[in-house]
Homo-oligomer: A and B are copies of this chain.
Amino acid sequence: MVKSKIRIKDIAEQAGVSVGTVDRVLHNRGEVAEETKKKILDIAKANNYHPNLIARALTSKKQCIFATLMPSPTEEDIFWKRPLSGISDAATELEQFQVKIEKFFFDHYNEQDFIQQTKEILKLRPAGVVFPPIFKQESLDFIQKLEKQNIPYVFLESKIKDCNYLAYVGSDGYHSGRVAANVVDFSTPKNGDILIINLAKNLENIHHLNKRTQGFLSYFMDHGRNTGLKINIEIPTSNTALIKEKLNAVLSKNQNIKAIYITGSKVHKIAEYLIHNNLDEITLVGFDPIEQNIKYLKQGTINYLIGQHPYQQGFKAIKKLFDHVMLHNTISRDEILPVDIINRESIKLYFL
């Protein structure tokens, strides 16, 4: 790594102009003769000029603002708290460089709210945006406007493929599914059957959940030792009564189910069911250490939870934006984070 020591002043001298002029071309503030501009740019490039951020931070009045648009964590679903605290910590770290984060929130189940917030963000004209593209169509509309204004955006948690996102930070559904499968495989009798459940209101996010199913199944193709059936069902609701009905049907039809794998975070719903029906013996694995799930993990009903480093997702998303916008570094576009396997013991220190 070549650490350049060249300063604005040096460039100015070499170009035979003043530092003010150099600063103007470096920041594209115009008002500079085309010829001078070219000369300065050449010198800067030839010497691999990089601004001294420390000096800039000390002197610059103007803040660079990044906006985040995240679902509000609710009492019922605290899932979104963790990425937010990652975002906050990144904000603290970047404060010294005059970077500020404006946080916007929307109701997880309300497209209109999302749209409303995107309008607010566009008004703010931030230097970058971080958000999870939960609503595909609405996100695409937002993206279009961002691109028109040349505002870079970073995806979190999930991504939309066919667009010009600056970066994505999240986990890989397929991989997560395989990790879960491995855990289920080792905790279930060889000949026991395994039930896979896609449990999601309106099948939101269904694409992501499907990848978790595919990954799960692929594990058993490759080297799983379990030889039982893999039964795959969908429960497109979070209504307790309906879930019960569906499960009753499946479980009575197949008495040999020894493990249940939930592709999402609603695994606590199934835990409740198992307890009420005295089926605690069944191995239960799902996603995300949110409060409701942790409760059953600690009781032993849920055997494992797969964690997706939501904190890191928030933290890194902001850092990527900073790296790109402020440092003009080239960044890796897709950053796939590893997943965590969490049990009732490891959860005790998980949030420290």
Contacts and interface: CB of A to CB of B under 8 A. Distances in A.
A55 B53 contact: no
Interface in A250-304: 283, 300, 303-304
Q: How large is the interface on A (under 10, 10 to 19, 20 to 34, 35 or more residues)?
A: 35 or more
Contacts of A240: none
B345 A181 contact: yes
A337 B57 CA distance: 33
A342 interface: yes
A219 interface: yes
A54 to B, nearest CB: 5
A338 to B, nearest CB: 4
Contacts of A336: 349, 352
A193 interface: no
Interface stretch (A108-116, A158-166, A171-179, A204-212): A171-179
Interface in A317-349: 336-346, 348-349
A223 interface: yes
A58 B52 CA distance: 9
B341 A342 contact: yes
A31 to B, nearest CB: 28
Interface in A4-55: 52-55
B337 A346 contact: no
- Copies of this protein in the assembly total 2
Contacts of A54: 54, 57-58, 96
A182 B53 contact: no
Contacts of A350: 338
Contacts of A53: 96
Nearest to A186: B187
A232 to B, nearest CB: 19
Given A338-B350, A340-B340, A352-B338, A178 B345 contact: yes
B343 A349 contact: no
Contacts of A179: 343, 345-346
A183 interface: yes
Contact of A341 (B175, B300, B341, B349): B341
A345 B58 contact: no
A350 B343 CA distance: 18
Given A54-B96, A58-B54, A96-B53, A186 B343 contact: yes
A209 B70 CA distance: 44
Nearest to A180: B345
Contacts of A303: 186
A153 to B, nearest CB: 23
A263 to B, nearest CB: 15
Contacts of A342: 341
Given A348-B175, A349-B172, A223 B183 contact: no
A223 B339 CA distance: 26
16 contacts: A52-B58, A54-B57, A54-B58, A54-B96, A55-B58, A175-B348, A186-B186, A223-B300, A336-B352, A337-B352, A339-B349, A340-B340, A340-B341, A340-B346, A341-B341, A341-B346
Interface of A: 52-55, 57-58, 96, 172, 175, 178-179, 181-183, 186-187, 219, 223, 283, 300, 303-304, 336-346, 348-350, 352
The 9 A-B pairs with the shortest beta carbon distances in the complex, nearest first, are A338-B349, A341-B341, A178-B345, A179-B345, A182-B345, A186-B187, A182-B343, A179-B346, A54-B58
